[in-house]
Structure formats: C-alpha cells, structure tokens
Chain A
Amino acid sequence: MSGTVADIPAASFPPARSTRAATRFLRHRLAVAGVVVVVLLIAACAIGPMLSPYGPLTIDLRRRFQAPLAGPHWLGSDQLGRDLLVRLLMAGRISLTVGFVAMGISTAVGVLVGLLAGFYRGWIGTALMRLVDAVLCFPSIFLLLTLAALVSPSLATITLIIALTAWMEVARVVQGQVIALRERDFAVAAEAIGASDGYIMLRELLPNIMAPIIVAATLNVARAILAESYISYLGYGIQPPTASWGNMLNNAQEYLESAPWLALLPGAVITLAVTSFNFIGDGLRDALDPRGDRSA
C-alpha cells in the first residue's frame, strides 16, 4: 500500500474494525480458557489422587479392563485393574513437572546463549549461533531418543534431555532482540558510563526483552510436554511403574480393540494440556506484541 497510502483512509481505519476486535477478544478468550484448563489440571493432579480410594499402583485383577462409567472406576481400569483416573492424575504430576522444569532449564540456557551471542557479536556470537544452527539440524526426536538411550532414564535425566533439545529457539529470539536493542540509546549510554558487560546484559537488555522470552517459554512448556509423551510412548522416557501421560500410551496400542479408552483418554489429556499452553502462548504474543496480528 505504499505510495498512495497517505490518501487512503483505509490505512488509518483498518477494515472491519469491530470484527477484528471481536476475534482478538475471542482469541484471548481461548487464552483465558487455556489458563483455566491449566489451573484446573494442576489442581486436579495435586489434590485428586488424595481424594480417590484407589492408589495409582493398586492392582485389582478382578476388575481389569473396566470400561469408563461402567463400574466403580469412573474412567475405567487398565490391564492390571488399576484406576485410570488416578493414574492419569498421577501421570499429570510427572508430565507437568517435566514440562515446567524443562521449560525453566531450556529458557535459562537459551536466554544465556542468546544474550552472550547477541552481546559479543564477534567470533563468540558467531560460534554460538552456528552451534544453535547445528543442533537444530538434528530432528528433535532422533536426538532425544539417542540421548535417552545413552543415560539411565530417571525423572531428572529425562527432564534435562528434553531441556537440552529445546533451548535453541529461545536463543535465536533473544539474540535477535539483543542485537536490535544494542543499537538503541540506553545500552550505548550504559556502556558509555562504564557499566560492566554483565550489568548491561542483565539490567539493561534482559528486562527489555522479557515479552518474547515469556511467549517462547510458554510455548516451550507445550513442547516439553509433547516431547515427554513422545519418548515415554516409545519406551525411552519415564519408566513404569511410574506413570506419565506418555508411557500410559506405551502398551495401549495392543488393547485398541478390547480397551480403546486406555489409548484415547491419556492422549486426549495430553492434547488438552498442550493446546492450552499453546493458546496461552498465542494470547500472550498478541497481548505483548504491540505490532499485533502475526498469526504465523
């Protein structure tokens, strides 16, 4: 629209302003719904198992494969007669913990690498960003599984592995922002009055790029939950008898005919949680990015 833009009021009056506002509101409503779902999930996983008469590992061979809503187990029972609802909630504790902790580590690593790469733009910056490029060449599941196979699987190692394959995008975002910011006055001014590099990075640069970091971190929770589900489903993640949303699906394929709920329910919960985090991230991006509509 360049050129005649000054003459066309369309530029100053975006088309269909009201519908745009409405959809924005709606999209934010999905983000709000995401927050509600996440809070409810966390609360249910934290409190739920304590209210149930069943333990997550209570085996009851008389009540194997009870269908949902068809007996004492609300959401049915599995091949060992364990209560599916309690197991889902206990698994949620594990999966959500992995998601949040992995997000924390990956974001911290990404922010650190990005800050350094953006601040020291000479060979250090180049080397760091090339490293980011190189790690991104590996398809994440291949890398995750290789790493998982090399270590003895535990909650800590799995979380660490997931974090180690998810910091690169944060690093890219932060590096780009830092480079843009460094050109601006206040960083230059801080440098001129002799502030240390660390001070400039943490006190001047970091607070100004929190918005994209928060968005990336939120999306990283979604990604980490998905990653956990993938490697646990494939048998290299959280090991039974500890339940995670991923490993509950591990054997479910065998029972697709006889007990489909064993496959359908955990996956639906994963989808619900991941979708919620993605919507929250999307809503945050809209809310925090003054440039507005960037849907891709």
Chain B
Amino acid sequence: MTRFVLHRIGQSLLLLLLVSMIGFALLHLAPGGPLAQFALTPGMSQEAMQRIAHQMGLDQPLPAQYWQWLRRLLVGDWGRSYRDSQPVLWVIGSHLGATLELMASSTLLAMILGTGVGVLGAIRRYSLADYAAMVGAMVALSIPTFWFGLVMIYVFSVRLAWLPAGNIATAGDGSLLDYARHLIQPCVVLALVTVATWSRYMRASMLEVINQDYVRTARAKGLRQLQVLVHHSLRNALLPMITVAGVQLPILLSGALVTETVFTWPGMGRLFLDSLGYRDYPVVMGLLIFSAILVLAGNLIADLLYVVADPRIRLT
C-alpha cells in the first residue's frame, strides 16, 4: 500500500510539472506574450517596452524563463492582478469560498439523488423506471448547463417569483434563509450533469455487486432485504464511486464556471470570466493553473481515500 501511495504521489507531481509547462506555453502563446497588457497602454515607447521585458526576464532563453516562473509559482508568487494590483493567489482565494460552497452543496445533492436513482435502476433493471432514468440521464447530459439555468430562472424567478435570479445574498439581509434561497437554483443547475453521470456509474457498479456470491451469502444468513442492500450491496458498490467523484472534478469546475456566470455567483468561475473580459492575464493564467491543480489534488485525494476505504488495498 505504501508503494502504491508513493507511486501515486510521484505521478501527481510529474503531472503537476506537465501542467505547469502547458500553462507556461499558453502564457507565451498569447499574442504579444506576457507583454500584451503594456502594448495596449497608450504612450508606451519601444524602449520602455524593452526595459520592462528585461525586468521581467523576457530576454532570457525560454528554459531559464520557465525555471524562474516555476520557482515563483511554487513559492506562491503568482504575480499581481492588472485590475487591482492584488496578488493573484489572494484574488483567487477571495473567490474560492463561494465556488466551494456551490460545488460542495451540488455534489452532495447529486450524490444523494444519483445514488438513489442508480440503485433503483440496478435492482429494478429494465423496468420502466430504470428505462426512464437512463433516458433522463442521457438528456441531462445533453442539456447546456447555462440554458438549464436560464430555464430555471424563467420558471422560478420570472414566472413564479419564488427564488432570486442571481447573486449569493440580498444586500443587507444576511440571514441563512436568504443565503439558502440564493443557493437553491445554482446548486440544482450544477448538480444536473453530476446526477446523470453519478446515477449511470452507480447503476453499473451496483449491477456488478448484486450478483456477487457474498450478497447471496448475506441473503442465506436471513438478513432483511434492506440490510442486504445497504450493508452488502450499496456499501461495496459505493467504493469505486470514490474514484468517479475524483474524475468528475474537472466537469464540475467547468459547470461551476458557467453556473456562476448565469447566476452572478461571486466565485472563481465568475472571476475567470471577468478577468478574461479585462484581459487580466495573470489572474486568468493563475485560475487556469489553479483549477488544474485542484483537479490533480482532487484525484489524488480520491485515490488515497479509496485506499483507506477498501480493506483489500489498505491491508496489503
């Protein structure tokens, strides 16, 4: 197990290096490279540009530049936002909370719903409900997230006027209820894709498990159907879902970006789009790399959790 964990961590570090290279390459691919911002400043002379380029080390060979950039990246010096001159990591940090709240709540919702639908589909395989769930999941995977958000707003905010159409809270309110009312729509919208994927994997995982010999042993013991289902089928079927949760992360982050845009939710995704609008490249690049690191870390954590959760791996 120790070997597996070390191997997995080493693999993640290698990926991190590759991710940073891709990030660096993108930075230099930008028209005008990292200097693009200054080129737009009126009255900037050619010499001034060169001076700045020298200050930024842009006249050095690319590997040297990469090495310096990577060192700064590792010590947390991700540059400053063009917009308000705040450190990039600080800017990201101040938007991280809202995104994590949204992602966590919608993941929770998706897991509960998806597990239920998947389990029902597996134990009532090829029933009408199972069939409807499979078709429903396919449609859910095909709906553009932002459009689903618009439809929700149209129904629940415009027509019914039950829920606020955007933002994280009403100014001057600050109650938990107000926050919850703001959270409901983005949470449901973001959960849509996750529910669909989760229920499909859950159904497949459950189908693997319910025909196992040990489930029959459990029934032969005279355990009640619900006991067999929860302790001997669901428990085992949920194990591989840890990995699925990890794999879902990039999709979840993409979904969060779109959802936050539709509902003006002040998170990372919204920040990304705003920064893109202002050509605030340090923040854009920072967010891009940060999101990749989140994905990497999430997958690593999922794999390590799997090791802890599955005695077959933990104890070998």
Contacts and interface: CB of A to CB of B under 8 A. Distances in A.
The answer to whether A and B touch in the complex, with CB atoms under 8 Å apart, is yes
Interface of A: 1-3, 16, 19-20, 23, 26-27, 30, 130-131, 133-143, 145-147, 149-151, 222, 226, 229-230, 233-234, 236, 246, 249, 252-253, 256-257, 260, 263-264, 266-267, 270-271, 274-275, 278-279, 282, 294-296
B313 to A, nearest CB: 21
Contacts of B250: 136-140
B158 interface: yes
Contacts of B150: 249, 252-253, 256, 263-264, 267
A150 B31 contact: yes
Nearest to A219: B141
A222 to B, nearest CB: 7
14 contacts: A16-B126, A23-B126, A133-B15, A133-B18, A137-B295, A137-B296, A139-B295, A146-B285, A149-B276, A234-B261, A256-B154, A263-B154, A274-B143, A296-B204
B175 interface: no
Contacts of A145: 257, 272-273, 276
A230 B258 contact: yes
A257 B261 contact: no
Contacts of A139: 249-251, 253-254, 257, 291-292, 295
A264 B151 contact: yes
Contact of A257 (B158, B204, B284): B158
A270 B145 CA distance: 11
Contact of A294 (B131, B204, B284, B293): B204
Nearest to A23: B126
Contacts, number: 157
Interface of B: 14-15, 18-19, 21-22, 26, 29-31, 126, 131, 134-135, 138-139, 141-148, 150-151, 153-154, 158, 200-201, 203-205, 211-213, 249-251, 253-254, 257-258, 261-262, 272-273, 276, 279, 284-285, 287-288, 291-293, 295-296
A230 B141 CA distance: 14
Main secondary structure of the interface of B (DSSP, over half): helix
The 7 lowest CB-CB distance pairs between A and B, nearest first, are: A267-B147, A296-B204, A134-B18, A141-B254, A274-B142, A139-B253, A275-B142
Given A252-B150, A295-B204, A278 B291 contact: no
Contacts of A147: 26
B291 A142 contact: yes
A229 B144 contact: yes
Given A30-B135, A138-B19, A275-B142, 19 more contacts: A1-B211, A23-B126, A26-B131, A137-B15, A141-B258, A145-B276, A146-B288, A147-B26, A150-B30, A229-B144, A234-B258, A249-B150, A267-B148, A271-B143, A271-B147, A274-B142, A278-B138, A295-B200, A295-B204
Contacts of A282: 138
Contacts of A146: 26, 276, 284-285, 288
B129 to A, nearest CB: 12
A189 to B, nearest CB: 35
B292 A279 contact: no
Given A145-B272, A146-B288, A134 B143 contact: no
A13 to B, nearest CB: 14
Nearest to A275: B142
Nearest to B18: A134
Contact of B254 (A131, A133, A140): A140
Contacts of B158: 256-257, 260
Nearest to B272: A142
Nearest to B29: A150
A274 B258 CA distance: 18
Contacts of B21: 134
B295 to A, nearest CB: 5
Contact of A137 (B19, B135, B142, B204): B19
